[in-house]
Amino acid sequence: MATNALSSGYRLTRFVLERSSSVQRNALALINKRAFSAAAEESKNDSTIPPTGESEIEKKLKQEIEKLSSESKVLSEKVADLDDKYKRSLADRENLRNRLTKQIQDGKLFAIQGFCKDLLEVADILGKATESVPKEEVKDNNPHLKNLYEGLTMTEAQLLKVFTRHGLLQVNPLNEKFDPNLHEALFEQEVQGKQPGTVVVVSKVGYKLHERCIRPALVGVAKGQ
């Protein structure tokens, strides 16, 4: 008997639930139908109403778009300005780095410039000493003079080799075109067969240290007739 009561209660509960679901489905269908009818009616009414001016929402949207466009333009200009300044800063830094690098390199190359200038006087003395020896007197029957001359020439040659090893080169511009960057003109004279501006006399040789003139050659130059 209890079992029958439970079975009846179960069936009753199931019936109520099914009816409830059916009512809900019917109600939902009715709501959808009414909503569709209302939307269709509203669409029909809208098609018969003549268009009016912009709505407030559209006006606000346009204003907002214009504002954003203006702000975007300002920001773009600022970005372009900052980009230009950044590139200029990079270029300035690179130029500064190159200048400092060159200064360091020049400092290494020309650190011995003062020392080289002092040694040039020694080279001049050796050159004058060898030039002052009469070549006809340098003979085997005069061994003292011969040995002295050979010692001077060997010393001069070795000194010039040391100069060359350190980038110090002699400038002897005889018969070359006068160059005011490397030569200092002491006088001009007419010389037959020489083009004007040609170096015809070298009173003292010059020197360059790594292509930098540290002493100009003292010269005489041919002048036009």
- With respect to residue 122, please indicate whether it lies within any of the assigned structural domains: yes
- With respect to residue 77, please indicate whether it lies within any of the assigned structural domains: yes
Do 127 and 106 share a structural domain?
A: no
pLDDT in tens, 37-52: 555 555 555 545 455 5
Do 118 and 153 share a structural domain?
A: yes
- With respect to residue 40, please indicate whether it lies within any of the assigned structural domains: no
**The domain that contains 200 carries what CATH number?**
2.30.22.10
- With respect to residue 14, please indicate whether it lies within any of the assigned structural domains: no
Whether the per-residue pLDDT at 111 is higher than 50: the answer is yes
- With respect to residue 203, please indicate whether it lies within any of the assigned structural domains: yes
Do 106 and 117 share a structural domain?
A: no
With cut-offs at 50, 70 and 90, classify the pLDDT of residue 9.
very low
Lowest mean pLDDT among 8-22, 32-46, 66-80, 203-217: 8-22
- With respect to residue 193, please indicate whether it lies within any of the assigned structural domains: yes
| pLDDT at residue 21 in the model | 47
- With respect to residue 188, please indicate whether it lies within any of the assigned structural domains: yes
Q: Under a CB-based contact definition with an 8 Å cutoff, are residues 110 and 157 in contact?
A: no
- With respect to residue 87, please indicate whether it lies within any of the assigned structural domains: yes
Bin 87: left if φ > 0, else alpha if -120 < ψ < 50, else beta: alpha
Do 181 and 158 share a structural domain?
A: no
Q: How many domains does the chain have?
A: 3
Within 10 A of 100 (CB to CB), how many other CB atoms are there?
10
Do 180 and 157 share a structural domain?
A: no
| pLDDT at residue 160 in the model | 92
CA distance 19 to 45: 39
| pLDDT at residue 65 in the model | 86
Looking at the whole model, is its pTM more than 0.85?
no
Find the domain containing 177 and state its range. Answer: 169-224
Q: Under a CB-based contact definition with an 8 Å cutoff, are residues 171 and 182 in contact?
A: yes
Average pLDDT of the segment spanning 161-174: 94
Do 137 and 173 share a structural domain?
A: no
